Amino acid sequence: MTAFSERVYDCVRRIPRGRIINYGSVAALVGEPRAARGVGYSLSHLPSGSDVPWWRVVNRRGAISTSRFTGLAQRQRAILESEGVEFNADGEASWERFGWDPHG
């Protein structure tokens, strides 16, 4: 557990239900604008039983970027849809409607 990871988790925990954010924005919020990759890595190694809503983090296009081969992507999408997030034919969600801005 590093300081970077903790800041990432702390940021993700503040994302309200039914909202999404992208990896780059999380990185920027924790003070590392170019560490989007690090964010993805940290979330991929979340400790079991954590209260971090990792499923609310998607890629820049608003699409799910988790591995398609583990079935994780399908699960993530299902959870998001259960929270009210809608995806278009390309599997992208609207930032206008579901994007989370920490400012308000």
Partner DNA sequence: GATCTGACCACCG
Partner DNA sequence: CCGGTGGCCAGAT
* Spatial contact of 58 and 93, defined as CB atoms under 8 Å apart: yes
* Spatial contact of 5 and 20, defined as CB atoms under 8 Å apart: no
Residue 32 as a binder of DNA (CB under 7 A): the answer is yes
For the bound state, the minimum distance from the C-beta of residue 47 to DNA, rounded and expressed in Å, comes to 11
Q: Using CB under 7 A, which of 14, 60, 81, 86 touches DNA?
A: 60
Residue 51 as a binder of DNA (CB under 7 A): the answer is no
For the bound state, the minimum distance from the C-beta of residue 15 to DNA, rounded and expressed in Å, comes to 13
Length of the chain: 104
The number of CA neighbours under 13 Å toward the Cβ of 52 is: 19
Residue 29 as a binder of DNA (CB under 7 A): the answer is no
- Residue count, binding to DNA (CB under 7 A): 32
* Spatial contact of 13 and 53, defined as CB atoms under 8 Å apart: yes
**Positive or negative, the Cα torsion across 88, 91, 92, 97?**
positive
Residue 20 as a binder of DNA (CB under 7 A): the answer is no
Q: Which residues bind DNA (CB under 7 A)?
A: 2-5, 22-24, 32-46, 54-55, 57, 59-60, 65-67, 72, 76
